[in-house]
Structure 1
Amino acid sequence: MKRIAIFISCILAAGIFSCSPVRQCKAPELDLPSTIAENRADSMTIADLEWWQFYGDSTLCYIIERTLANNRDILAAAARVDRMRELYRVSKAERLPNLKANILAENETNDYYQDKAVRDPQFDLTLSIGWELDLWGNLRWAKRKGGAEYTASVEDWRAMRMELVAEVASAYFQLVALDNELSIVRRTLATRSEGVYQAKLRFEGGLTSETVYQQAQVEYASTASLIPDLERKIEIMENGIALLMGEFPDWPVLRGSMDTEATTPETLPVGLPSELLQRRPDVRASEQRLRAAMAAAGMAYADRFPRLNFTLTGGWENDRMVGFFQSPFSYVAGTVAAPIFGFGRKKAKYKAALAAYDEARLAYEQKVLEVFKEANDAVITYRNVRKTAELKANLRDASRKYVLLAHLQYRAGSINYIDVLDAQRQYFDAQIGLSNAIRDEYLAMVQLYKALGGGWQTQSEE
């Protein structure tokens, strides 16, 4: 026993004073910029708002709620969180003693050659407790790895919520824009139908040539041809939103209407670069995978050294039931399993784990770069599409006045009817252009909100 105690003490001393198993794991290199898209360093950011506060449209919020509740991808991600939680519990339980019970009843008959048959019954009831002494931190690293993988699954689930909220909001605003475009086309078609009727009357009355009448018909037919394609796009967009909501294509998608006179803020707060990494769940998930890779390297390092297990077994054993509980027994066993010569397999596994860590580290660094690019692109896009929307609104107003003046001048005989049609065409294009510009403005807001890390919150996490 004294020799065993000395041996264990030596092993413990070696474990305490050995070098860290992750000493070769290089820390990520992050040289964060001072601002996002050369904006001022805001203390606040729109990503601090929950999505039901950021999107004020009650209809859109209803669609988002149904999506987050019924979308199959988000439900699968939630199931993965449950799976990783239970696996994490397994890794934590591995550090605790293992208690087992065994009940045995057997009746062995031995009938050897030229010997009388002998019966050898046996009855056992045993309890055993086994425990591994975590000398090199193998179990501790396993627990850290399980915890990091579980946390990464939670962040992946949140990242999927963030993506779904942005995807649903983008689809909704595109659908509203298509509705508005179809409304513009139908109003224009009604106007041009009236123009065809007036041109026909003038032609039949001998006031104008047939060319004017044919020009009016061409404009009417050109406008009418736009409707089927717009209706197709609307139905496809509705089907896409229904799919996101976890419904079949015939699900009715409610929505509001586009307000072309609404204005958006000139600038939106974007926060600090360091806070961006804390808000984005996909970045946090990548960081947790890096932690899991480091823990895996620690496990591979610890696996190169001996493992010490203790087992305490006790119970009752007898060859008959009479006096069974008067036949107790117990014993203690300790085992040391040490690799002697494995042709470099365990060392190679450790090097492979270090390479996997480097892979995770570079993936994390790349993720950070991508996130800042996405945030910068979103800020620049919002800034420019807002300017475009203002210019398109001015163009729409000018085109509307141009149409009124063209009608007056045509009735006065100052210009030809082709000039009226040209003015109407420019006004129609200006309306469509403004509708698309407002759509792009809302889409830019959605992408900026997502790029800054907004949209993953749940009602319970307020």
Structure 2
Amino acid sequence: MKKLIIFFTGIVLLSSCSVYKTFETPEVEKENLYRDTSAVDAAIPEDSVNLGNLPWRELFTDPQLQELLKQGLEANVDLQTAWLRIEQAEASLSSARLAYTPDLSFSSTGTLSDFDGSTTKFHNSGLSTSWQIPLFGGLRNAKKGAEATLEQSQAYQQAVQTQLIATIANSYYYLLMLDRQLDITGKTILSWEDRIESMRALKEVGMTNEASITQSEASYYALKTTYSDLQQSIRETENALSITLGQAPQAIKRGEWQSIKLPERISAGVPLQILANRPDVKQYEMALATAFYNTNVARSAFYPNITISASSVWTNSNGGIISNPGDLLSSTIGSLTAPILNRGVNKANLKITKSLQEEALLNFKQSLLNAGSEVSNALFQYATTLQKQANRNKQLEALERSVVYTRQLFQTGASTYLEVLTAQEDLLDAQLSETNDWYDQVQAVISLYQALGGGSE
């Protein structure tokens, strides 16, 4: 009989080996996460800086922006919520660790009864304890799952922080772009007013006509409309950024776009660094680990639970005075419970946890694909903005010469003033587009920084 018990115990222990396995990150394809970037490689020097490894203070050197980032990291509601999630996960982990320790409780009861003139005094005081022996991995996997959940919460906080830094920086640079466009438009409006007055004077001497003046006035009022739209965009962007910073809508202090300095040589590094740097990828990895340990917990439910209970009670059941503890009664009980009728429920729970684990694996793999796509997009955007900047500079030089030439032709009577207006409008459009190009380049750097997990620490 003893040999038979040992034999069945061995079978149970061997069959429970799977519940003691430790989570390992699954093998995934990392080499081809980035799309072929031959055009990017040609535009970005070989000795470039791996952008994802830069602290945010080194990337964003503008003093005003640094103050805004500091304020956002301290007061943003989403980030504060993420920190609270970490506290909740830490509390859950502490609870899982305490499950290994015995439960200890103290109880004391007393009665005083009187019957037919006879008084009886009775009391019990004692300690009781119980301990579940962690033999089949239930407690271990619960603790490991809590640890993975904590790491998942920490990765979520880092992901929120990375997103927050990118949002604040993008909003700040967008405001600088709008400021520059507002300045260009305002100066153009003032010069347009002078031109309209000059055209009216030219009409008096027969050098232009009413149609040209009307066209100039239409362009002038279109510029004023654009100026109002820019003012509205500035106000709305300031309000949105204020909410992100955790403050009431208000004006945002900012510097000048000319003082902005961003790295001229950037690189994405090797694809493997996405696994190390991207907090959202880490978050999905830890979600997979949590699902893995939850599956092991569901498996452990098929095995017996062994519990040891003990108690010690002092009693004066013989009716002595309460100050006299009387007799000491002690007991120790060992129990083993195994699932029988609820085995079907355990099978259903295991099936659910396995399905959730497969879902977590798909989400983890998808997060890697998304990360590679975002890095590839940001790299190509940066390379194209460099090309656009070079072409835009040539366009501006050509349009500035065009304005000069058309004015000279108008003065000699070889051109109409409408051609002068057209050249000036084309120059204005190109100047405004240049500010958009500048913002696109800045945005590409920020997008790449975020895509590489920069700013999470």
Decide: shared fold, TM above 0.5.
yes
Q: Distance in 1 between matches of 2:238 and 2:256?
A: 15
Q: 1:412 and 1:120, CA in 2 relative to 1: closer, same or farther beyond 3 A?
A: farther
- After superposition, the CA RMSD in angstroms is 2.8
In the alignment, structure 1 residue 157 sits paired with structure 2 residue 157? yes
SS at match of 2:339: coil
**Partner in structure 1 of residue 178 of structure 2:** 178
Q: Conserved in 1, the CA contact under 8 Å of 2:19 and 2:136?
A: no
Residues 170-203 of structure 1 deviation map (CA, whole Å, 9 limit, x = unaligned): 1111111111111111011011011011011122
**Partner in structure 1 of residue 111 of structure 2:** 106
Structure 2 counterpart of 1:210, one-letter code: E
Q: Conserved in 1, the CA contact under 8 Å of 2:55 and 2:455?
A: yes
SS at match of 1:348: helix
Q: Conserved in 1, the CA contact under 8 Å of 2:72 and 2:244?
A: yes
- Give the total of aligned pairs: 448
Worse-matched range after superposition: 40-49 or 191-200: 40-49
**Partner in structure 1 of residue 66 of structure 2:** 61
SS at match of 2:332: strand
SS at match of 1:310: strand
**Partner in structure 1 of residue 258 of structure 2:** 259
Write out aligned runs for 1:195-274 (5 A): 195-249=195-249, 251-259=250-258, 267-274=265-272
**Partner in structure 1 of residue 393 of structure 2:** 393
SS at match of 2:136: coil
SS at match of 2:251: coil
Write out aligned runs for 1:48-447 (5 A): 48-107=53-112, 121-249=121-249, 251-259=250-258, 267-319=265-317, 320-322=320-322, 324-342=324-342, 344-447=344-447
Structure 2 counterpart of 1:295, one-letter code: Y
Q: Distance in 2 between matches of 1:70 and 1:337?
A: 51
SS at match of 2:367: helix
Q: Distance in 2 between matches of 1:172 and 1:117?
A: 89
Q: Conserved in 2, the CA contact under 8 Å of 1:36 and 1:270?
A: no
Q: 1:73 and 1:108, CA in 2 relative to 1: closer, same or farther beyond 3 A?
A: farther
Q: 1:27 and 1:166, CA in 2 relative to 1: closer, same or farther beyond 3 A?
A: closer
How far off its partner does 1:393 sit?
2.1
Structure 1 counterpart of 2:313, one-letter code: G
Q: Distance in 1 between matches of 2:242 and 2:314?
A: 66
Q: What TM-score comes out, normalization by structure 1 length? A: 0.90
Q: Distance in 2 between matches of 1:7 and 1:117?
A: 60
Structure 1 counterpart of 2:288, one-letter code: L
Q: Conserved in 1, the CA contact under 8 Å of 2:133 and 2:305?
A: yes
How far off its partner does 1:117 sit?
10
Q: 1:257 and 1:8, CA in 2 relative to 1: closer, same or farther beyond 3 A?
A: farther
Q: Conserved in 2, the CA contact under 8 Å of 1:375 and 1:451?
A: yes
Q: Distance in 2 between matches of 1:388 and 1:49?
A: 26
**Partner in structure 2 of residue 460 of structure 1:** none
Q: Distance in 1 between matches of 2:142 and 2:336?
A: 20
SS at match of 2:371: helix
Residues 60-93 of structure 1 deviation map (CA, whole Å, 9 limit, x = unaligned): 1111111111111111111111111011100011
Q: Distance in 2 between matches of 1:237 and 1:118?
A: 86
Residues 269-299 of structure 1 deviation map (CA, whole Å, 9 limit, x = unaligned): 1111111111001111111111111110111
Worse-matched range after superposition: 30-39 or 399-408: 30-39
Q: Conserved in 2, the CA contact under 8 Å of 1:42 and 1:271?
A: no
SS at match of 1:20: helix
Q: Distance in 1 between matches of 2:77 and 2:261?
A: 36
Q: Conserved in 1, the CA contact under 8 Å of 2:122 and 2:322?
A: no
SS at match of 2:170: helix
Write out aligned runs for 1:6-17 (5 A): 11=9, 14-16=12-14
Residues 400-437 of structure 1 deviation map (CA, whole Å, 9 limit, x = unaligned): 22212222222222211111101101110110110111
Pick the aligned partner of 1:20 from 8, 15, 18. Answer: 18
Unaligned 5+ residue runs, structure 1?
Answer: 458-462
SS at match of 1:316: strand
Worse-matched range after superposition: 204-213 or 440-449: 204-213
Identity %: 25
Q: Distance in 1 between matches of 2:149 and 2:32?
A: 31
Unaligned 5+ residue runs, structure 2?
Answer: none
How far off its partner does 1:370 sit?
0.9
SS at match of 1:344: helix
SS at match of 1:259: helix
Structure 2 counterpart of 1:63, one-letter code: L
Structure 1 counterpart of 2:13, one-letter code: G
